[in-house]
Amino acid sequence: MESVDKRWYVGYSWYITIFAAVMALLCIAGWAIPAFTPVAQEWGWTGTTFGVAIGTLLFRVFYYPRIAKTQELSMAGFQYAVCYLVMIINLLHLTGWIKSWYLVFFVQIIVFAGLYGTFTILGVILLITMYIVLAIPEANQKEIFTNPLYVGVIVGAYLLSIGGHFFWKTRYIDAESQKVNRLSGMLKSKQQQSEILIQSIADGVIVTDTKGAISLMNPAAATMTQWKVEEAINIDVRLVVKLDKEDGKPLAPGEDPFNAVFAQKKNINQTMSLLGREGKQQIVSLVVSPVILPKTNELVGCVAVLRDISEERKVEKQRADFISTASHEMRTPVAAIEGYLALAMNNNVSKIDAKAREYLEKAHSSTQHLGKLFQDLLTSAKAEDGRLTSHPIAVDMSAFTEQLAEDLRFGAQKKGLDMEFIVSNHEGSTGVIDASGSTAKTLQPIFYTLADPDRIREVITNVFDNAVKYTEQGKITLALTGNDDLVQISVKDTGPGIPAEDLPHLFQKFYRVDNSATRAIGGTGLGLFICKKIVELYNGRIWAESTLGQGTTFFINLPRISAARAAQLQQSEKSNNLA
């Protein structure tokens, strides 16, 4: 079907709607007002006309939008025009055909038939001919062909049809053009939507090409960088977005996030310090993503999203300072209370009955728990703001974990659990120490890492103690393995396991798995958070894997250093101690 500009269809549909509504109202007036009834009868405003008008309006409300959406606007308009044609033919029948004033509307239909293509004009011509042959009584047909007025009207209708064809022909849009116009409209609409969204978003958005030249910047990014949008376009993004580490230290040559994205074609998500053009310093969350064509996998640029988190960092620092100060100040009176309670329970110092001892023991246990909470709060606050003390040295993890295993064994045996320590490497050499402490194989690989042994002991002890707390029977396995690049420590238990939905949140601050066991045992919810922060100090990773009913395994990966490097670090440490 040929089509013209959609505005013709929209306008013509509203004209038909108004005409049908007026006809329906006039029919109602003919019934409701007796004095108006003769006029209504004369002009064809009868029940039939009312029914056709209402049907036309119902088509417009319920079917026209659906057809326009699922097919085309021209097809919806054509079907609506057919309803209008039925209404006009009905009025012509009721008011005298050629002698009717409604002939004007029929002529208008003929002229506008070309809106819907050539075949509709041919249809109108066929309709006129059929009306003359079939609809008009034979007696009147002779009058039609002898009366100059009738002949003129019929011939004029044919001529109008032909003229309408040539008029609309110059306005037809071919199928390809229609597709192009629709696509152009869609693209323009999508582009406008994208521009509105990008301009309105509160985060800074910067788009660059593969050389780093800025091709788009929204007002939020302009405010943060203190560059005008028009001045920043085509400027190297590294000159506009001046970045340092969060603590203000300059970036190393290989740490620039834009260079990293162009080189690796991977997302970069970092917290950094942004220096504005006029000297404004901000802490920003920066996400830089590569723009890659889906079919060719070709890199065509990158998109950077910046969010100012300076206030958030300020609030976090204030909270951390408060927690640190409060925890530090409260540790002294809590330690004093714990000491006095210990003295009260000492038979050499005081004499108390069994009931009083029971109360004091509970108070002492609660005080110890409170002291542990304050200590964990203080440690977590230091871990968050980078004040956690660390003195990394070259550590022989094989000897270190073997000694630690001996220290931890008592805790497991006290609860009636077996404890196993295993050392192995990727080549299969293995040393196993069972519950009794005997060694099944003595050939053990040596794994060196650069870390603070006190901090690593804190991590392993925390994880091991958790395993003991939540395991009622079975055994705890402490294992050490590794390859050329890393050292891996694992702690495996035979406890109830952890639900899959809880695993991603285990290392969040104050997060605890909500079940009967955790509620009964209690805890601060800070231990694993602190472990994660400590492991990250040494560029390591900690995570957990678990199956309900079968137990949980915690893994700790640390970078491995060579024996030569370890010897060098140990010699340097020895020299520093002598000095």
What residue has token string 């925890």?
Answer: 327
How many Cα atoms are found within 13 Å in the side-chain-facing hemisphere of 539? Answer: 8
Q: Is pLDDT above 70 for 462?
A: yes
Give the sheet arrangement for strand 204-208, strand by strand: 214-217, 204-208, 299-308, 281-292, 268-275, 242-245
pLDDT value at 149 more than 70? no
Q: Which helix (DSSP H) or strand (DSSP E) does residue 448 occupy?
A: strand 448-451
Average pLDDT over residues 250-269: 88
Alpha-carbon span 20 to 87, nearest angstrom? 8
Percent with pLDDT over 90 in the chain: 28
Say what the pLDDT of residue 441 is: 46
Name the residue with higher pLDDT: 36 or 73.
Answer: 36
State how far the alpha carbon of 192 is from the alpha carbons of 189, 199, 467, in Å: 5, 10, 57
Q: Cβ distance 80 to 60 under 8 Å?
A: yes
Q: What confidence category does residue 430 fall into, taking pLDDT thresholds of 50, 70 and 90?
A: very low
Give the mean pLDDT of 471-491: 93
Q: Which residue has the tokens 């210990």?
A: 342
Q: Is CATH 3.30.565.10 the classification given to domain 393-578?
A: yes
Architecture of the domain defined by 313-385 = Orthogonal Bundle (1.10)
User: Is the per-residue pLDDT at 561 higher than 50?
Assistant: yes
DSSP state of 180: H
| HEC string for 125-162 | HHHHHHHHHHHCCHHHHHHHHHCHHHHHHHHHHHHHHH
N- to C-terminal Cα separation, the chain: 96
Residue 280 vs residue 150, higher pLDDT: 280
Which residue bears the tokens 């203190």?
226
SS3 176: helix
pLDDT at 442 over 50: no
For tokens 């009636």, the residue is 416
Q: Count CB neighbours of 119 within 10 A.
A: 12
Percent of the chain with pLDDT over 70: 77
Q: How confident is the model at residue 187 (pLDDT cuts 50, 70, 90)?
A: very low
Sign of the alpha-carbon torsion through 41, 47, 52, 57: positive
Sign of the torsion angle spanned by Cα atoms 497, 500, 504, 505: negative
Average pLDDT of every residue of the chain: 80
For residue 70, the model assigns a pLDDT of 72
Residues 579, 54: Cα–Cα separation, whole Å: 104
Residue 436 has a pLDDT of 45
Q: In sequence order, which ranges of 170-246 are alpha helices (DSSP H)?
A: 175-200, 219-225, 229-232, 237-240
Whether 141 has a pLDDT exceeding 70, the answer reads no
Q: What is the mean pLDDT of residues 122-126?
A: 66
pLDDT tens per residue, range 301-323: 999 999 999 888 888 777 777 76
pLDDT value of position 127: 66
- Which CATH superfamily does the domain covering 202-308 fall into? PAS domain (3.30.450.20)
117: which residues sit within 8 A by CB, 6+ positions away?
1, 2, 3, 74, 172
**Reduced DSSP (H G I as helix, E B as strand, rest coil) percent helix, strand, coil of the chain, to 5:** 60, 15, 25
At 509, give phi and psi (nearest 5°): -65, 130
Amino acid, single-letter form, for residue 313: R
Q: What is the dihedral of CA 219, 223, 225, 231, to 10 degrees?
A: 60
At 55, is the secondary structure helix, strand, or coil?
Answer: helix
Report for 64-73, 279-288, 356-365, 427-436: range of highest mean pLDDT: 279-288
Q: What is the mean pLDDT of residues 207-213?
A: 91
Comparing C-alpha atoms, which of 364, 362, 326, 314 is closest to residue 343? 364
Average pLDDT of span 510-533? 70
Question: What is the H or E stretch that residue 207 is in?
Answer: strand 204-208
Task: Give the per-residue pLDDT at 549.
Answer: 87
**Pairwise pLDDT comparison (195 vs 435), residue with the higher score:** 195
Whole-number Å distance between alpha carbons of 386 and 100:
94
Domain ranges of the chain: 6-173, 202-308, 313-385, 393-578
Strand partners, 206: 217, 304
Query: Which pTM does this prediction carry?
Result: 0.47
- CA neighbor of 388 nearest in space, from 255, 577, 531, 253: 531
Is 136 or 409 the better-scoring residue by pLDDT?
Answer: 409
- What is the model's pLDDT at position 577? 65
Q: Distance between CA 312 and CA 308 in Å, rounded?
A: 9
Q: Is the pLDDT of residue 460 over 60?
A: yes
Which single residue is written with the structure tokens 């593969």? 210
Domains 313-385 and 393-578 alike in fold: no
pLDDT, tens digit (0-9, with 9 covering 90-100), for 10-63: 888 899 999 999 999 999 998 888 888 888 888 888 889 999 999 999 998 888
Average pLDDT over residues 264-289: 91
Q: Provide the pLDDT confidence category of residue 252 given band limits of 50, 70 and 90.
A: confident
Residue 35 per-residue DSSP state: G
* pLDDT interval class at 85 (50, 70, 90): confident
| Pair of tokens at residue 551 | 């137990």
Model confidence at 433: pLDDT above 80: no
103 pLDDT above the threshold of 80: no
Residue with tokens 């964990």: 376
* DSSP per-residue string spanning 487-533: EEEEEE--SS---TTTGGGTTSTT----SHHHHHH---S-HHHHHHH
Position 71 pLDDT exceeds 80: no
* pLDDT confidence band for 439 (50 / 70 / 90): very low
